[in-house]
Amino acid sequence: MGKRKRSNYKVPRKRSFSNKKTYYTKEDIFISRMASILRVSKGEIKNIFSQRARTTIRVNGLKGDVNETVQLLKKRDLILIPIKWGPNIYFVDNKDKSEISQLEEYRQGRFYIQNLSSILATLVLNPQKDDTILDMCSAPGSKTTHIADITKNKAKILANELEVSRTNSLRNVTEQFGADSVKITLSDGRDFGKKYPDYFDRVLLDSPCSGEGRIYLRGQKPLRFWSIKKIKSLSFLQRDLIESAFITLKTGGTLLYSTCTLEPEENEGIVTYLLKKHSNAKLEEIKIVKSDGFEKFRNYIQKGITHWSGNDYHPDIEKSIRIIPSSEMMGFYIAKITKV
């Protein structure tokens, strides 16, 4: 008797294992990484990075009386909510950026549209009228003009950028907002340590970064500029910049290091590098976040991370702060360093 033929011989036999490969999208990698850094669930990460920030403005004392400007804006039916810890800072509750940027008062330079986290960085720097100040990576000029406003154009401010196009836009911004005390330079920030050793009272280094604090996952191609490779390459640049910035400080001077990313490699890792290399670098407490009026914003503030992904950071790094993205503040990192 011959062998029976399989009636289903064209159907492949089932196997007890699968050799299918698992593929992860860029969004999968981003969400997993952020969940690990922020120590929350992946679902919560999607919520955190799917919020639009409220419109925030800084009323500019260099272009008219601030109280008069506030009254003019209220007459235009803007609902202004004052920020208790930020002088002349307001949430605009009923208009978005595109609407208020069309107002005549904006064209006159009476107010600047600026995220609250960015504003906080300048307040932590605490510039004084007689200071000589470097804003090492200054475009588009939000913090530069804020420094000029706080010091009432009495400080000497050097605003630097690397690209000609960015210096041109920076010049337009300083003119629009009346920052007459600002001198603009076109230079590589890594060279400042050689050019200006022990020269500045305060240095603001708002470093180029991977920009995770600005990512909005509901937007179109939100991760097109983000990659782990970019994070790695930027961290080398950031090391060079922070060291150059620190060398330019006078003894007793203050360096404010900030980014709009949440990556420990670009934040705590960079500050740890500086603290280990320079024994006269000291990390300071950021007192404003413990002040009266800051209560409702403390939910968005975390201490610097001392350990992540096998890396141990300087124990003092807890004095720095990381701002978790929310509807009121974008993701940010701030460290205040003095030269002792």
What is the reported pLDDT for 24? 86
**Domain assignment present for 261:** yes
Q: What is the mean pLDDT of residues 178-187?
A: 98
Query: Where does 188-245 show beta strands of DSSP type E?
Result: 200-206
Q: What is the mean pLDDT of residues 49-66?
A: 96
What is the reported pLDDT for 15? 55
Residue 7 confidence class, pLDDT cut points 50, 70, 90: low
**Domain assignment present for 236:** yes
Residue 314 confidence class, pLDDT cut points 50, 70, 90: very high
pLDDT tops 60 at residue 3: no
The residues that are catalytic are 260
Alpha-carbon distance of 75 to 69, in angstroms, equals 10
pLDDT tops 70 at residue 233: yes
**Domain assignment present for 204:** yes
Predicted confidence (pLDDT) per residue in 109-162, tens digit: 999 999 999 999 999 999 999 999 999 999 999 999 999 999 999 999 999 999
**Domain assignment present for 306:** yes
CATH code of the domain in which 313 resides: 3.40.50.150
What is the reported pLDDT for 80? 98
Q: What is the mean pLDDT of residues 261-267?
A: 98
Main-chain dihedrals φ then ψ at residue 257, nearest 5 degrees: -105, 125
Predicted confidence (pLDDT) per residue in 277-307, tens digit: 999 999 999 999 999 999 999 999 999 999 9
Mean pLDDT over each residue of the chain, to the nearest integer: 94
Domain that holds residue 243: 115-339
Question: 260-273: string of b/e by CB count within 10 Å (b at 16+)?
Answer: bbbbbbbbbbbbbb
Nearest C-alpha neighbor of 336 from the set 287, 285, 297, 289: 285
Q: Where are the alpha helices (DSSP H) in 3-90?
A: 26-38, 42-48, 66-75
Residue 23 confidence class, pLDDT cut points 50, 70, 90: confident
What is the reported pLDDT for 322? 98
Residue 245 confidence class, pLDDT cut points 50, 70, 90: very high
Sign of CA dihedral 307, 310, 312, 317: negative
Amino acid at site 3? K
pLDDT tops 70 at residue 204: yes
Place of tokens 């009228």: 129
Split into its structural domains, the chain has a count of: 1
**Domain assignment present for 218:** yes
Q: What is the mean pLDDT of residues 246-255?
A: 98
pLDDT tops 60 at residue 2: no
Predicted confidence (pLDDT) per residue in 24-43, tens digit: 899 999 999 999 999 999 99
**Domain assignment present for 190:** yes
pLDDT tops 70 at residue 17: no
**Domain assignment present for 152:** yes
**Domain assignment present for 221:** yes
pTM for the whole structure: 0.93
Q: What share of the chain is helix, strand, coil (3-state, %, to 5)?
A: 35, 20, 45
